[in-house]
Structure 1
Amino acid sequence: MQTSGTFEVTLFEAVDVPLAPPVETALPIGVARMTKTYAGGVTGHSATVFTSAYGGEVGTYVALEAFEGTLDGRSGTFAYVHSASTGGTDRSDTFFRIVAGSGTGDLTGIHGGGSLTVDDDGTHLVDFDYELN
């Protein structure tokens, strides 16, 4: 099954997580928490742990999200992970995976993949390509 929606970041808050032992790289490593709201075939909200090595317009992020809401009217919760790199104007090395075994409610048994993109006008899009067992 496939479904799509838009999302809006409603919170992006840096979290102080010192590296132990401290290691400095050319790109600072950071952690943040995020919340998002979704509309379309995907409705609901998510809580996200966002990690990155980023500076200027270059870097890589890895995010783990806990989603609560509906996919095409099926309600429940599940986790998904995604990552990407950027050189400033590009997006590469993308990864998106629904965490198998994380689904509840009507989304129990969910697994699969998807993608996150940003339109030229700044609209954030999410696509889920999933199956239910």
Structure 2
Amino acid sequence: MQKRFEGEITGHSATLFTYALDHATNVGGYVAMESFEGALHGRTGTFNFTHSATTSGDDRKDESFVIIPSSGTGQLTGITGTGGLTDESDGSHSIWFDYDLPA
């Protein structure tokens, strides 16, 4: 899966995504690993992150979102942190990062 990012984070990612879902009830879960290339608040480079969640139908729970340590390059070298993903009502997704970068 390919993703494009716009806003405070711009660029693209390649995503390995797998899920197990009962389509009749929308109960299940997913795991994903992404390799991002672009800019985060104006600092350019690459980094990897993982995310996962489960659902009992209408919710997201058991969420995990982690930037992979030592995966940053360029001006994103040394990035660490977490983040999150929100499903929007129009079917799009919003992503946020709570990260630290060396000065």
Is the TM-score greater than 0.5? yes
Structure 2 counterpart of 1:25: none
Structure 2 counterpart of 1:109: 78
Give the TM-score of the pair, scaled to structure 2: 0.93
1:92 to 36, 54, 61: 61
Report how far residue 132 of structure 1 moved: 1.1
Mean Cα deviation higher: 115-124 or 80-89:
115-124
Counterpart CA distance in 2 for 1:123 and 1:46 is 15
Counterpart CA distance in 2 for 1:90 and 1:112 is 24
One-letter amino acid of the counterpart of residue 77, structure 2: T
Any stretches of 5+ residues in structure 1 without a counterpart? 1-33
Larger Rg: 1
Number of residue pairs matched by the alignment: 100
Give the TM-score of the pair, scaled to structure 1: 0.73
1:41 to 2, 5, 8: 8
Any stretches of 5+ residues in structure 2 without a counterpart? none
Structure showing greater relative contact order (alpha-carbon pairs closer than 8 Å, 6 or more residues apart): 1
Mean Cα deviation higher: 100-109 or 120-129:
120-129
Counterpart CA distance in 2 for 1:118 and 1:52 is 16
Identical aligned residues as a percent: 56
